[in-house]
């Protein structure tokens, strides 16, 4: 299979990653000389999934798009967190899938995965997105989130009406009350690792939820 070559740049830790981003913005030519600390952890994922190998390069544009995806994830999660789908597990799972995909792609964009690569290889596969994110420093090794990610993938299936004769979808025993804290923990982790600010109105919405 023909490999498409991207460019690489990363470092360990939130502070050094931000310093690297500034360096790449100032001198992008030097990025090709930087070795990713995640090369070994990504190799088995590329091989197992048959995905194109990525040479990561963090850019200002990628950082801005990453922040936008994280904010979109928070917006997508708001309906679940507000309890709008409290009695409907299918709607909860569909919306949770959208929020999780946006959040995980926010992390992948932040560490240097191109948006085009995410669109081609991640799509709506939350389990795959979580695996790639954890292989590149997300550090969200939650067994229940991993199980939920497998149930959600691909999340489009939860958005279609069940037809007579269709086999029932396996919801893994997840309820809206169980899904809610798992997705909130994932969003919080992406927020912490990327350092993206919360979207406008976040604290007000949290107060409304708790009231």
Reduced to 3 states, what is the DSSP secondary structure of residue 123? coil
Q: Going by C-beta distance under 8 Å and a sequence separation of 6 or more, which residues neighbour residue 44?
A: none
103-139 tens-digit pLDDT: 999 999 999 999 999 999 999 999 999 999 999 999 9
DSSP 8-state symbol, 51 = P
pTM over 0.85: no
43-71 tens-digit pLDDT: 999 999 999 998 898 999 999 999 999 99
Contact 45, 132 (CB under 8 A): yes
CA atoms within 13 A on the CB side of 90: 10
> Angle CA(103)–CA(104)–CA(105) in degrees, nearest 5?
90
């Amino acid at each position: 299979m023909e490999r498409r070559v991207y460019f690489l740049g990363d470092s360990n830790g939130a502070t050094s990653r931000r310093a690297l981003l500034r360096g790449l913005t100032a001198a992008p030519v030097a990025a090709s000389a930087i070795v990713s600390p995640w090369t070994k952890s990504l190799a088995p994922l590329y091989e197992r999934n048959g995905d194109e190998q990525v040479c990561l390069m963090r850019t200002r544009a990628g950082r801005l798009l990453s922040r936008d995806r994280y904010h979109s994830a928070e917006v997508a999660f708001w309906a679940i967190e507000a309890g709008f789908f409290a009695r409907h597990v299918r709607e909860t799972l569909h919306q949770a899938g959208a929020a999780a995909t946006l959040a995980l792609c926010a992390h992948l964009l932040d560490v240097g995965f191109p948006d085009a690569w995410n669109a081609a290889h991640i799509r709506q596969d939350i389990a795959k997105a979580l695996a790639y994110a954890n292989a590149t420093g997300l550090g969200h090794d939650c067994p229940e989130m991993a199980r939920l990610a497998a149930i959600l993938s691909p999340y489009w299936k939860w958005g279609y009406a069940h037809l007579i004769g269709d086999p029932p979808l396996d919801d893994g025993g997840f309820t809206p009350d169980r899904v809610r804290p798992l997705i909130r923990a994932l969003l919080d982790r992406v927020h912490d690792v990327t350092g993206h600010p919360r979207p406008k109105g976040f604290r007000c919405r949290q107060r409304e939820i708790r009231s």
